Amino acid sequence: MTSQSAGPGRTGRRGGDSGTREAILDAARKRFAAHGYDGATIRGIAGDAGVDPALVHHFFGTKERLFTAAVRLPVVPGELISSALAAGAADPGGSLGEHLVLTALSAWDVAEIRETFLGLLRSAATSEQALIMLREFVTEAIVGRLAAAADTTDPAQARYRAALVASQVVGLGIARQVLGLEPLAEAGRAELAAAVGPALDRYLTGDLG
């Protein structure tokens, strides 16, 4: 979530695709930080970077993917959740909750994940704007997607269930990947999926009292 202080201006030649890509990411970081996830638009970011909005779509596709690249997440959380929901629902060998845990653990299994998480925490804990941006992203891209899997006819209840799932997955990520809390940090993926998956299943579709 850091911004380079000397981004390219609106005019002048780019250093090819890579220079244009960096200029867009730089503009995106600044605009997401200033306007939040909801308030930032592809059009506004393109304007700041001095390029056509079509070029931003060409390089990054959706706003969600652009944000993901801007904050250096190794995966696009919402797309991962959608795949997990589709696969988990179809998989006879494990519950949806277990599938969601395995999906998260796999996504976190990259060398730079700890630094990415620390960067997000640092930004959110330092800047109220960064915190709002993160809240909006989690609300739309994570809770919104998970709510589709929650068993209820009441949309507010579906989002409550999804937020409970998000709270456990965020806590697992912080305990395991950031804090390195043992013996959780060294536990195997299958063991954790068996332990945490049923809790997520209950949050999504069980009796919450």
Contact residues: a copy of itself, CB under 8 A: 118-119, 121-122, 124-126, 131, 134-135, 138-139, 143, 156, 159-160, 163-164, 166-172, 174-176, 178-184, 187, 191, 194-199, 202-203, 208-209
Instruction: For the CB of residue 59, give the shortest distance to a copy of itself in the complex, in Å.
Output: 29
Instruction: For the CB of residue 93, give the shortest distance to a copy of itself in the complex, in Å.
Output: 13
Instruction: For the CB of residue 129, give the shortest distance to a copy of itself in the complex, in Å.
Output: 14
Residue closer to a copy of itself (CB basis): 10 or 122 = 122
Instruction: For the CB of residue 16, give the shortest distance to a copy of itself in the complex, in Å.
Output: 35
Nearest Cα residue to 194 out of 97, 85, 91:
97
Residue closer to a copy of itself (CB basis): 23 or 193 = 193
Residue closer to a copy of itself (CB basis): 89 or 208 = 208
Tell me how far CA of residue 7 lies from CA of 11, 105, 120, in angstroms.
11, 35, 21
Instruction: For the CB of residue 174, give the shortest distance to a copy of itself in the complex, in Å.
Output: 6
Tell me the one-letter amino acid at 139: T
Residue closer to a copy of itself (CB basis): 75 or 199 = 199
**Helices 77-90, 96-107: crossing angle, 10 deg rounding:** 140
Full DSSP string of the chain: ----TT---SSS---HHHHHHHHHHHHHHHHHHHHHHHH--HHHHHHHHTS-HHHHHHHH-SHHHHHHHHTT-SS-HHHHHHHHHHHHHH-TTS-HHHHHHHHHHHHT-STTHHHHHHHHHHHHHH-HHHHHHHHHHIIIIIIHHHHTTS--S-HHHHHHHHHHHHHHHHHHHIIIIIS--TTTTT--HHHHHHHHHHHHHHHHHS---
Residue closer to a copy of itself (CB basis): 48 or 98 = 98
Instruction: For the CB of residue 72, give the shortest distance to a copy of itself in the complex, in Å.
Output: 15
Residue closer to a copy of itself (CB basis): 87 or 199 = 199
